Amino acid sequence: MNGMRPPHSNASNAVDRWLAAERYDGDDQADAALLELFESLPLIAPPAGFADRVILRAGIPATRRDLFASRGARLAVAVCLVALGLGAVWLPPVLRVLAGFWSFGGLVQGGVRALADAAQWLATALRVWDLLLTIGRALTQPLTMPQVTAGLVVCLLISSLAFRLLRDQLTGERNWTYVDPI
């Protein structure tokens, strides 16, 4: 039978019951018969090694390289473990210093210092902003004069005309006589 399995007798009976339910009975009986048909079908699993053959056919290497197989990765892990060990030696003194900051007076002093630094930063930012506004006014004020605006418009027209002439010159020289034959 060309590798096909003969139909299962329970499955063929379930098919007959489902078809009869579809013809003569209501939707609920037909749904129940269809569910019975699906439950009577045998579970088919792919043969062993199927996924590996598919992955190999797709061109994806099936073997994964072990990350810790290289000496460089092992050396990096060893260096990290040594750094962790040395960090554990330095941890108690650092924690003692940090614990000194947790007093209420130290907290208030740190808050006041942060507020003063923020105010100083804001004053510096405002001075820079004022300088930028002054430069902006110095550059835009001449542009409001009619003579300067007219001069800029004339320069724009001249550059547009020069661009148009250059484009016409370049496109006029393009033809097939300058192209090597294929």
Give the count of domains, the chain: 2
SS3 content of the chain, % helix, strand, coil (to 5): 80, 0, 20
- What domain range is 160 assigned to? 144-174
| pTM exceeds 0.85, yes or no | no
Residue 15 lies in a domain: yes
Answer with the one of 58, 73, 88 that is the final residue of a domain: 58
Q: Where do we find the tokens 């924690």?
A: 95
- How confident is the prediction along the chain (182 residues), in pLDDT tens digits per residue? 344 444 556 667 888 888 888 888 778 888 888 888 888 888 888 888 888 888 888 877 766 666 677 888 889 999 999 988 888 888 888 877 777 667 777 778 888 999 999 999 999 999 999 999 999 999 888 888 999 989 999 999 999 999 999 988 887 766 666 656 56
Residue 68 lies in a domain: no
Dump strand ranges (E) for the chain. none
82 burial type by CB count under 10 A (0-12 exposed, 13-18 middle, 19+ buried): exposed
